[in-house]
Structure 1
Amino acid sequence: MKTILLGNAGSGKSTLSRKLIARQPAARLSLDEVAFQDGSERRCLQESIADVKRFIAEHESWIIEGCYADIIEPILADCEELIFLNPGVDVCVANCRARPWEPEKFSSQEEQDENLSNLIEWVTAYESRSDEYGLRWHRELYDSFTKEKRELNHLHDYESV
């Protein structure tokens, strides 16, 4: 398995990656791990891409998940399957509100809760954004991908993966 899960924050990428790995073991990389340094500052793009390429070289089977089209685009050729999770902004917002504490990102549940309104504002702008996090660039990556691909638009579609 060499799969990329692409989609908005809250679209279910992490949940789906855990489900796929439970069925077929693979290494997993969340692009959040390579995209940022010291909290909210983006790392140099080339450094992030180099880290992902190193991860790919070190693992025979893998899942990479994230919303960073600028990191995903240069590694698409290494991917066998692209899954675009696009359930709509309302579903993503609801998932963000229900998200359990993520200790790899926040030092406490309280810190995560303090960031929730910023996250929801960011997620809500998905369809109008033209940056690497937005629907426009995600759609371009998906449409241009020539290998196996699936777009999941409803949560019940996730069950068939």
Structure 2
Amino acid sequence: MNLIKTLVIGNSGSGKSWLAEQLATSLGSAWVDLDLLHWEPGGYNMPRKQEDVIAMAREAAAAERWVIEGIYGWIVSEILSAATALVWIDVDESECIENIRQRGMRRGGDAQSLAELLKWAKSYQSRTGSSSYGAHEAIFNSFRGQKACLKTRDQVTAFADSSI
């Protein structure tokens, strides 16, 4: 698989960041977390302007090599054509929730934001919008490059191991 410019999508807590870090390290490429583009510095309370986020994502995707990961389908759609590979981590919602509980809140989050994130992760299959299961499925199905859908933690680990 040509992983030079890889997008990793999936639910919150699915392991996107872990896999992206593994891939970026093995490829010697940049690792871009879309949370850091979407949210203003200091936490998850203030989103950036959509046009600023898209400009930053396009700038990151213009690089020679990268691994970009996130849940935001609206951002991914803006840079999908630049990708050589797409990985969708589609593990069960309950596993995502357990992963979030184990890691706790990141980047200045508090107990309330952790509770909201757990509720958000639990609604992946049922919610609508660009960060939903349905939106990720549509992105995956429309992508014409090399792609992989990973359904279990073992598959995610094996994919990372095979890319090293």
TM-score normalised by L of structure 1: 0.89
Secondary structure at the counterpart of residue 5 of structure 1: strand
Secondary structure at the counterpart of residue 6 of structure 1: strand
CA distance in 2, matches of 1:64, 1:129: 23
**Pick from 41, 50, 59: which aligns with 1:45?**
50
Secondary structure at the counterpart of residue 3 of structure 1: strand
CA distance in 2, matches of 1:137, 1:80: 20
Residue 162 of structure 2: aligned partner: none
Aligned length: 154
**Pick from 17, 20, 23: which aligns with 1:17?**
20
Q: CA deviation at 1:117?
A: 1.5
Query: How is 1:89-128 mapped onto 2 (pairs within 5 angstroms)?
Result: 89-99=93-103, 102=106, 105-106=107-108, 111-128=109-126
Q: 1:100 to 1:23 in 2, by over 3 A?
A: farther
Residue 3 of structure 1: aligned partner: 6
CA distance in 2, matches of 1:114, 1:73: 30
- AA paired with 1:11? S
Secondary structure at the counterpart of residue 42 of structure 1: coil
Structure 1 stretch 129-138 or stretch 2-11: which is displaced more?
129-138
Residue 137 of structure 1: aligned partner: 135
- List, as ranges, runs of 4+ consecutive aligned residues in structure 1 with deviation greater than 3 Å: 111-114
Once superposed, what is the RMSD of the aligned Cα atoms?
1.5
Gaps of 5+ in 2: 160-164
Asked if structure 1 preserves the Cα contact closer than 8 Å seen for 2:104 and 2:114, the reply is no
Secondary structure at the counterpart of residue 141 of structure 2: helix
Q: CA deviation at 1:28?
A: 0.9
Secondary structure at the counterpart of residue 37 of structure 1: coil
Residue 157 of structure 1: aligned partner: 155
Q: 1:121 to 1:69 in 2, by over 3 A?
A: same
Asked if structure 1 preserves the Cα contact closer than 8 Å seen for 2:20 and 2:69, the reply is yes
Residue 78 of structure 2: aligned partner: 74
Gaps of 5+ in 1: none
Structure 1, residues 86-133: CA drift from partner, whole Å, max 9, x if none? 10101100100011563xx11xxxx54443221111111111111121
TM-score normalised by L of structure 2: 0.87
- AA paired with 1:77? S
Asked if structure 1 preserves the Cα contact closer than 8 Å seen for 2:105 and 2:114, the reply is no
CA distance in 2, matches of 1:152, 1:84: 6
CA distance in 2, matches of 1:41, 1:134: 21
